[in-house]
Structure 1
Amino acid sequence: MSIGMIGQKVGMTQIFDDKGLAIPVTLLQVGPCTITQIQKNENYSRIQIGYKILNPNKLNKPMLGHFARKNLPCFKYLKEYKIKDTENYNVGDIIKVKDLKEKEFVNVSGLSSGKGFSGYQKRHKFSRGPMSHGSKNHREPGSIGAGTTPGRVFPGKRMAGRMGHRRVTIQNIQIIKIDSINNLLVMKGSIPGKIGNIIYINKL
């Protein structure tokens, strides 16, 4: 399998290897995904896959026509992947976790957990000021600019603001175990996002 898959984060647990060492793992429920579109270009081709069948009443007319032209059910999530060769793929083919292999390394992307509006210490790992009674700079940022010249704050200054809820890609995550019956993947380590978040798997 050279194209990616879409799944959902189930949760985290731990398993023990042959030496008795605890390995933190994340459970992902991946697929089955359906190929909904194939576009061929000169340099590369694109394959669109769909995940989670959706009630047609929740889609607009352009999306309904997109699925109706190919006699496919409606899907809630769509994702395109680049691919060099499309000869082995057809619209309507179903991709399952059995196409992956154990001990294989993949990239996993997802939305990280949102932390809301966070301060300097939490967001940028700033060190705090003195905690003595006379100090009035416990968790403040300190100076943020130079003075008369340039007389402004440069764009991109690390300050308080929204933290998390951004797309994060974890590279080279190993597949520990595959459960083809329940469409589950056991991945080594952590995966971005909360339980129930949609994740995207891309094979290296």
Structure 2
Amino acid sequence: MPNTNGILGRKLGMTRVYNEFGQASPVTVIEAGPCVVLQKKTVGKEGYNAVQVGFREKKPSRLNKPEVGHFKKSGGTGYYHVREFKVEDPKIYELGQQVNVTEVIKIGDKVDVTGRAKGRGFQGVIKRHGFSGGRATHGSDFQRQPGSIGSSAYPSRVIKGKKMPGHMGTDKQTVKNLIVIDIRVEENILLVKGAVPGAKNGLVSIYIKKA
């Protein structure tokens, strides 16, 4: 049976694994699925083919009325995370059908992992953009300031997109071409080589690289 082009997961942390030659590889441990099909979307109705899946069950007492009505179509169980994945033919899926990691990903596959970066709060230009700052000798008071941000004559305004102090982190980021090192079927655990965005227990979307 064809599968979705991805699956939802939860970042558990990082560790290392060793190969037969004793070489260590840094890996990220991800709890990938199981996900449940909540809705099917087709070209005729929505304009594209996709399935909506849910990850990590939510208590019924935590659902609002619109969520109760939406989740009722797929069995009534609520979920904390809901995302869409494109498919070729949504008709082959059934509402309430469970999608496991082994049905989507195999050892050796390359995947793209999308997550939300850690929040760093309000930061200056040195930490946020890598500015070098001013000199710290000969009585200079420049230090960590951003410097001039505009023009005096033309265009007499701050250019849009100027690198300035501000909120850093919590951006959506994607790391591409990560290799799947191992899959622990019983625990729904996925080990991918390298780091992925986000903090521990953060939601990640894992997309399969098309051949």
Aligned partners of 2:123 and 2:73: how far apart in 1?
Answer: 47
Q: Percent sequence identity over matched residues?
A: 37
The C-alpha deviation readout for 1:80-111, integer Å capped at 9, x for no partner, is: 11212224322121111112100101111111
SS at match of 1:149: coil
Report the AA paired with residue 149 of structure 1. Answer: Y
Aligned partners of 2:154 and 2:174: how far apart in 1?
Answer: 40
Matches within 5 A, 1:75-86: 75-86=79-90
Report the AA paired with residue 157 of structure 1. Answer: K
Equivalent residue number for residue 30 of structure 1: 32
Aligned partners of 1:167 and 1:175: how far apart in 2?
Answer: 22
Moved over 3 A (4+): none
SS at match of 1:181: helix
The C-alpha deviation readout for 1:102-125, integer Å capped at 9, x for no partner, is: 010111111100111011111001
Report the AA paired with residue 51 of structure 1. Answer: F
Aligned residues: 204
Q: 1:118 aligns with which of 110, 123, 136?
A: 123
Contact 1:129 1:139 in 2 (8 A): yes
Structure 1 position 49 matched with structure 2 position 53:
yes
Contact 2:18 2:25 in 1 (8 A): yes
Equivalent residue number for residue 15 of structure 1: 17
1:44 deviation in Å?
Answer: 3.5
* Structure 1 stretches lacking a partner, 5+ long: none
CA RMSD of aligned residues (A): 1.4
Matches within 5 A, 1:85-164: 85-99=89-103, 100-164=105-169
1:19 deviation in Å?
Answer: 2.6
Aligned partners of 1:126 and 1:179: how far apart in 2?
Answer: 43
How does the TM-score come out when normalised to structure 1?
0.94
Contact 1:72 1:92 in 2 (8 A): no
Structure 1 position 180 matched with structure 2 position 180:
no
How does the TM-score come out when normalised to structure 2?
0.91
